[in-house]
Amino acid sequence: MGLFSRKKKDDRDPKKGDAGTPEAESTPPAAPEAAPEATPPAPTVGISMSSFAGLGAAGAPVEPAAPTDGTPRPEPLLARAAADPRIEVRAHNRPALPFAPPSPPTVLETVPGLRDNAPVRDALAALPDKPSGAEVPGVVRQVMQGNLYLRVQGDAREQLRDGGQITFGVARAGDKDYILAYSSGQALRDAVAADGDTQTSAIGQPVSALVRHMLQGTFAGIILDNHSAHRAVIPREVLQKAFEQADPQARVKTLLAQPREADTPRRLASVLAERPPLWVAVGPSQNDKDKMGIAEARLADGTRLLQVFSHPLEIAAIGRNEKALPLDVAKIAKALADHPQVGGVIIDPAGPLMTLTREELAPVLALAE
């Protein structure tokens, strides 16, 4: 594909002129589906359910997601696991980033008619003026779902209808080219205001398809929201590694990013029962450093929850020293079945997150090996 914008990546000085309103293609062009990648086999290791560094300790409680249908949650389960009756949950100093609110964003459009990738938009907005490498996971983990916009030279809808080649924006830094992508309608407006090129439109593309195209070419990475107040440059190597480990369909992450509805817990449990790739965080038990434990969370009401993650980046984002361990859903179900004292799971604690009770996890518990 050709280029219509070859700006240096630090060229963000706006030009005078009417910003205009970018157009959107309501039905993105079909992209070939990514071939499903085999989930890495879970190593055979002895893991206890000992809490070793639970999220939601004193001073930083995790609030359970409130049911939208008014159904009360079960009473707290305060029993201790038999393997470790002296459970301690240590407080952690949570960095301001890359945590997101527990609930997904409710503002879904910044330009009427254009659906934002709201988790990515908000993660970028939360970046400081000079983001550090430690904040990169907070943005990249949100990029693991949804669509991003590309600016297209001319009318994207007309080009698609005529079967023509789409020419999208690329930025050049030295001898490297980066795909320019946008998280929101406002970010598109910022770009049009900056370069004054109103003869452009916009098209939404699934992030997986965009990354696949980047990897098939010689692009050095993706620049998100290049002309907005906060932008991020995500190198090719980071995206390649992240998507190698991702669920090709992003089932869990996609559902967590959507506004909550009354049936969201049921839908999430059904998705988990499909056995998507999942991870747990493991590290030495607090009470026995020779044992490995799975990280738990302790809700404000005392309920113990197993921490489950949709991607290793979700564990890195928490900023602790645990290791990501791929664990098949059936093995997670077995761990819960063997430890009835644990009240359920908390998925992607860095947010957006969801908690599921044992009752809500019935389709998953049925898989216990």
Rounded to an integer, what is the distance from CA 150 to the centroid of its chain? 20
Write 102-106 long-range contacts (CB < 8 A, 24+). Answer: 102/62, 102/63, 102/65, 102/351, 102/352, 102/353, 103/65, 103/260, 103/352, 104/256, 104/257, 104/258, 104/259, 104/260, 104/352, 106/259
Does 360 score more than 60 pLDDT?
A: yes
Does 309 score more than 90 pLDDT?
A: yes
Give CA–CA dist 162/301, Å, rounded: 59
| Host H or E run for residue 306 | strand 304-308
pTM (predicted TM-score): 0.74
Instruction: Give the pLDDT score at 235.
Output: 94
Nearest of 27, 171, 210, 186 to residue 121 by alpha carbon: 186
Rounded to an integer, what is the distance from CA 229 to the centroid of its chain? 22
Q: What is the pLDDT of residues 182-237, one digit of tens each?
A: 999 999 999 999 999 888 889 999 999 999 999 999 999 999 999 999 999 999 99
Nearest of 89, 79, 24 to residue 54 by alpha carbon: 89
Please measure the distance between the N-terminal and C-terminal CA atoms of the chain and give it in whole angstroms.
Answer: 49
Residues constituting the chain: 369
Instruction: Give the pLDDT score at 226.
Output: 94
Instruction: Give the pLDDT score at 82.
Output: 23
**pLDDT band at residue 99 using 50, 70 and 90 as cut-offs:** confident
Instruction: Give the pLDDT score at 166.
Output: 79
Give CA–CA dist 4/10, Å, rounded: 17
Instruction: Give the pLDDT score at 164.
Output: 73
Q: What is the pLDDT of residues 27-82, one digit of tens each?
A: 333 332 333 333 333 332 333 333 333 332 222 233 333 333 333 333 222 222 22
267, 364 in Cβ contact below 8 A? no
Instruction: Give the pLDDT score at 299.
Output: 81
Q: What is the pLDDT of residues 245-282, one digit of tens each?
A: 999 999 999 999 999 999 999 999 999 999 999 999 99
145, 257 in Cβ contact below 8 A? yes
Q: What is the DSSP string of 242-300?
A: HHHSS-TT-HHHHHHHSPP-TTHHHHHHHHHHT----EEEEEE-SS-TTSEEE-EEEBT
Q: Which amino acid is at 182?
A: Y
Q: What is the pLDDT of residues 114-137, one digit of tens each?
A: 999 999 999 999 988 887 777 778
Locate 12 and state its tokens. Answer: 């963000």
Give CA–CA dist 6/27, Å, rounded: 27
Give CA–CA dist 197/211, Å, rounded: 25
Locate 310 and state its tokens. Answer: 């949709």
Q: What is the pLDDT of residues 143-183, one digit of tens each?
A: 999 999 999 888 888 888 887 777 889 999 889 999 999 99
Does 96 score more than 60 pLDDT?
A: no
Give CA–CA dist 97/183, Å, rounded: 18
In eight-state DSSP terms, residue 9 is T
| Pick from 55-69, 99-113, 327-341: least confident | 55-69
Instruction: Give the pLDDT score at 167.
Output: 82
Instruction: Give the pLDDT score at 128.
Output: 85
**What distances in angstroms separate CA 175 from CA 124, 131, 168, 257, one per listed residue?**
26, 24, 18, 36
Instruction: Give the pLDDT score at 343.
Output: 94
In this structure, the number of other CB atoms found within 10 A of the CB of residue 100 comes to 22
What torsion, rounded to 10 degrees, do the Cα atoms 143, 112, 168, 139 define?
-20
295, 281 in Cβ contact below 8 A? yes
Give CA–CA dist 8/5, Å, rounded: 9
Instruction: Give the pLDDT score at 180.
Output: 95
Instruction: Give the pLDDT score at 34.
Output: 32
